[in-house]
Amino acid sequence: MKGIQMLWADGKKARRIKANMWKHNVKFHQLSYREMEHLRQFRRDATKCLFIGIISIPPFTNYLVFLLMYLFPRQLLVKHFWTPKQQIDFLDIYHSLRKQSHSEIITHLERASALVSDERLRWHLKDLCTKVQNGAHPTAHDILALRECFSTWPLGLNQLQALHMRALSRAMLLTPYLPPALLRWRLKSHTTVIHQLDRALAKLGVGQLTAQEVKSACYLRGLNSTHIADDRCRTWLGEWLQISCSLKEAELSLLLHNVVLLSTNYLETRR
């Protein structure tokens, strides 16, 4: 019952935000950080609830759906219905799933480095991949030095190969089982939303976030923040924002890869 009340309250809040957007002709990227994040999360929750609603339509299938929700709460229920222990356990599971693609993404970057025409950038990209593979945590300066590589072929969002995009989709907890054109569109859309959130968050200030908001923000961006102290989460989020807010729209492929580059070896995340 509590989960339903929380979900209903989220829905009412999302409706108010949308109503204000229509009334004042405000675009998504013009909202405050908390409003943007609320809409983003509610859309995901609503999509999962809609799926459950659709499969419950045929007569008598609702009994089966209740059984499935009991057996598979991570896959079928939104977080409002998870217990505190389940929230931690499920976030760990989701992170382990996305982490499985990290080494594959680094391998794709290594292969792509051979195709970079600029010798200095080619060497820097290879060096960065080697550092990450050896357990080093790259600095924001190291990553931003490669922004030019990720704006054009072979690592621009419009030039990524299908296998590379599938690995990135898994790292973002997006389904990889789509045609390349749809994979590219989803990755672009997802990365653009994160970039817009980052700009709004930079304007608000990380210091204004609650501990839970910080952990949620870090988790969305690739860090398994469930087991990391608040001050270290804030430090990492500050590094992320430094990179994100320095990037132009054409360089968002770097932000997408930053999910792996910046999180893989950060403190306790190397388990």
Residue position matching structure tokens 């430090």:
235
Along the chain (271 residues), what's the average pLDDT of each consecutive run of 10 residues? 85 95 94 97 90 80 82 88 92 95 96 92 95 94 94 93 96 95 96 97 97 97 94 96 96 97 77 42
Confidence at residue 270, expressed as pLDDT on a 0 to 100 scale: 42
Confidence at residue 59, expressed as pLDDT on a 0 to 100 scale: 79
Confidence at residue 135, expressed as pLDDT on a 0 to 100 scale: 92
**CA 202 – CA 231 distance, rounded (Å):** 17
Q: What is the DSSP string of 148-165?
A: TTTTSTTTSTTT--HHHH
- What are the residues whose beta carbons fall under 8 Å from the beta carbon of 126, sequence distance 6 or more? 110, 113
For the whole model, what pTM was predicted?
0.91
**CA 56 – CA 53 distance, rounded (Å):** 5
Nearest 10 degrees: Cα torsion 230, 236, 239, 243: -120
State both tokens at 149.
């590589």
Confidence at residue 1, expressed as pLDDT on a 0 to 100 scale: 66
Task: Please answer whether residues 108 and 168 qualify as being in contact, where contact means their C-beta atoms are separated by less than 8 angstroms.
Answer: no
Closest CA to 109 of 82, 88, 80, 138: 138
